[in-house]
Amino acid sequence: MKTLLNIIWLLFGGLWLALGYFLAGVVCCVLIVTIPWGLASFRIASYALWPFGRMVVDKPGGSGIFALLGNVVWLLVAGIWIAIAHVVTAFAMAITIVGIPLAIANLKLIPISLMPLGKQIVPSHSRYVIAYSPSRH
């Protein structure tokens, strides 16, 4: 079922969304100072390409003060606008019954698009998720 949802997602917006994040990553990697945001954009692009069956978790051991400061800068420069775009797209997808799972996947992208540094994407069925999920701390 996850594969079918991922294929439908890919056809109805996931490919364009991933290409947008990939292009943002390339632009961010042009300057040395913005490389962390570029790498985060590449990570988000992979998640936007194939979101079903994967989830975002905090990196183990904490992300540090530089990730926090980087996330604040990202939030002010790009995160808010990207999150608004995800909400608008989710509403458009949720109009049909078939689009509801796609809308939910689009909403799952909001937390990582707001604060991408200090996060990683893991399979939702892995032991890592059980060991490091926020509910277990």
Q: What is the pTM of this model?
A: 0.78
How far apart CA 77 and CA 109 sit, in angstroms, is 17
41-80 burial, b if ≥16 CB within 10 A, otherwise e?
bbbbbebbbbbbebbbbbeeeebeeebeebbeebbeebbe
How far apart CA 93 and CA 85 sit, in angstroms, is 12
Mean pLDDT of 107-125: 88
Residue 99 three-state SS: coil
Per the structure, the complete domain to which residue 22 belongs is given by 2-136
Residue 10 three-state SS: helix
Instruction: Report the number of distinct structural domains present in the chain.
Output: 1
Q: pLDDT, tens digit, for every residue of 62-92?
A: 678 888 898 898 889 888 988 998 899 899 8
Q: Predicted confidence band at 107 (pLDDT cuts at 50, 70, 90)?
A: very high
Q: Predicted confidence band at 13 (pLDDT cuts at 50, 70, 90)?
A: confident
> Residue 56: beta bridge partners?
121
Q: Predicted confidence band at 137 (pLDDT cuts at 50, 70, 90)?
A: very low
Token pair 């991933």 in the structure block, residue: 18
* Res. 48: pLDDT tops 50: yes
How far apart CA 82 and CA 38 sit, in angstroms, is 15
> Residue 121: beta bridge partners?
56
